[in-house]
């Protein structure tokens, strides 16, 4: 049920990755980071809204990893605001890796639990 939202997050990361580099415009990167944070906040809230219904055993660690991802975005946004070139290809690669890891370790098992509880198509 979360595939489209995950794809959206990766598409924004791709867009930022295309933007960073030599002639990168910090204002545009800042906008993309804002989009990424906004979509991530909505998506994480969406996932977390079902945790209480499921007696989900990994809820605490799952939420902590959501918060960690958002904190990284906040740090990058602040660094960009200070004029530091913290948003580079390596940073995007790190965010992509963190998201992929999260999907495998938390979201995939959680989605299976949701399907068990509510059926396919949830
Ligand atoms: Fe997710
Ligand atoms: Fe998640």
Closest ligand (CA of 110): 2
pLDDT at 8 over 90: yes
Residue 94 CB neighbour total at 10 angstroms: 13
Q: What is the count of structural domains for the chain? A: 1
Q: How confident is the model over 11-34, as a mean pLDDT?
A: 90
Centroid of ligand 2 to alpha carbon of 14 (angstroms): 20
User: What is the whole-number distance in angstroms between the Cα of residue 33 and the centre of ligand 1?
Assistant: 17
CATH of the domain at 40: 1.20.120.50
pLDDT of residue 117: 86
Span from the CA of 22 to the centroid of ligand 2 (angstroms) = 33
**Band (119; pLDDT cuts 50, 70, 90):** confident
DSSP label at residue 89: H
Cα–Cα distances in angstroms (integers) from residue 71 to residues 18, 106, 112, in the given order: 23, 18, 27
Range of the domain at 77: 3-118
Task: Give the pLDDT band of residue 118 (cuts 50, 70, 90).
Answer: confident
pTM: 0.93
Is residue 61 within 8 Å of 106, Cβ to Cβ? Answer: yes
Q: How many residues does the chain have?
A: 122
Q: Any idea which ligand is nearest the CA of 50? A: 2
pLDDT at position 122 over 70:
no
Write the DSSP assignment of 9-38 as a string of letters.
HHHHHHHHHHH-STT--HHHHHHHHHHHHH
């Amino acid at each position: 049920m979360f595939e489209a939202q995950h794809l959206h997050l990766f598409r924004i990361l791709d867009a930022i990755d295309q933007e960073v580099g030599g002639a990168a415009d910090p204002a545009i990167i800042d906008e993309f980071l804002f989009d990424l944070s906004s979509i991530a906040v909505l998506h994480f809230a969406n996932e977390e809204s079902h945790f209480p219904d499921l007696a989900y055993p990994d809820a605490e660690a799952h939420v902590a990893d959501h918060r960690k991802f958002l904190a990284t975005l906040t740090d990058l946004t602040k660094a960009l605001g200070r004029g530091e070139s913290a948003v580079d290809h390596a940073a995007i690669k790190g965010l992509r890796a963190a998201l992929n890891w999260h999907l495998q370790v938390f979201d995939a098992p959680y989605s299976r639990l949701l399907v068990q509880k509510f059926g396919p198509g949830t």
